[in-house]
Amino acid sequence: MFSGLSPQALCGLCLLLGLGIYRAVHWAQASAIRLPPGPKPLPFIGNVHQISEHQEKTFLSWGRKYGKIVYARFFGRCVLVLNHVSTAKDLLEKRGAVYSDRPRFVLYTEMLQFDIVPMLRYGDRYKKCRRWIQDVFLAPTVAAYRRTTQRREINVMLKGMLSRPDSFVSHLTRFTEAVVLDVTYGHIVRTDNDEYGALGEKSTAALVSASS
């Protein structure tokens, strides 16, 4: 039947057939499930082509057009964009046991063994770690951090900006590192070239490089 067709024509026919099957399956799935409104996706890539450099602006415009919950697809992944604080609280706090899970991070957690709280799947271990974090950051403890750690590092940052105003980015970076290291590990940053601060920067740069 197809013996007279060239290889290019056969490839084109197979592509059209695959596209038709994909559209039929997607239509059947969308018809069977009630999904929130959202922008119209393209085959295979979904809504990736509609995301600008500043994706938060795109999400905001979608929220204004489609409502508080927007459904989109990025390649094979289905995404819900929450565009209102009350909606986020209703789903992620009040119904956290249902909606608070995270996707599977194959690169970070399975290949690089970067097993940290922000990447843990929802379960007993995650709930235990979260409970520990909440105990540390109770209101009285946070107030103590503000009186000591935060005030001390703000003074250091402001003095640095007065002496070297052109390096304001490095001053802000040092402030963030100093507060995190003190609160998390009890380590006080005393120099601009702190060993642990530099290690944190290298780790972050390595993770970004590995995922890009």
d(CA 198, CA 175): 13
3-state secondary structure 32-88: HCCCCCCCCCECCCECHHHCCCCHHHHHHHHHHHHCCEEEEEECCEEEEEECCHHHH
Is pLDDT above 90 for 123?
A: no
120 found inside a domain = no
Task: Dihedral sign for Cα 87, 137, 144, 139, please.
Answer: positive
> What mean pLDDT value characterizes the chain?
83
Higher pLDDT: 114 or 7? It is 114
Residue 20 has a pLDDT of: 66
Residue 157 has a pLDDT of: 94
19 found inside a domain = no
Please say whether the beta carbons of 169 and 161 come within 8 A: no
6 found inside a domain = no
**What's the pLDDT band for 101 if we cut at 50, 70, 90?**
confident
Quick one: 141 and 207 in the same domain? Answer: yes
d(CA 132, CA 125): 11
Task: Dihedral sign for Cα 68, 71, 72, 73, please.
Answer: positive
Please say whether the beta carbons of 187 and 177 come within 8 A: no
Number of separate domains in the chain: 2
**What's the pLDDT band for 3 if we cut at 50, 70, 90?**
low
- Domain termination site, one of 100, 115, 148: 100
Range of the domain at 182: 137-211
Please give the model's pTM, rounded to 2 decimal places: 0.54
193 found inside a domain = yes
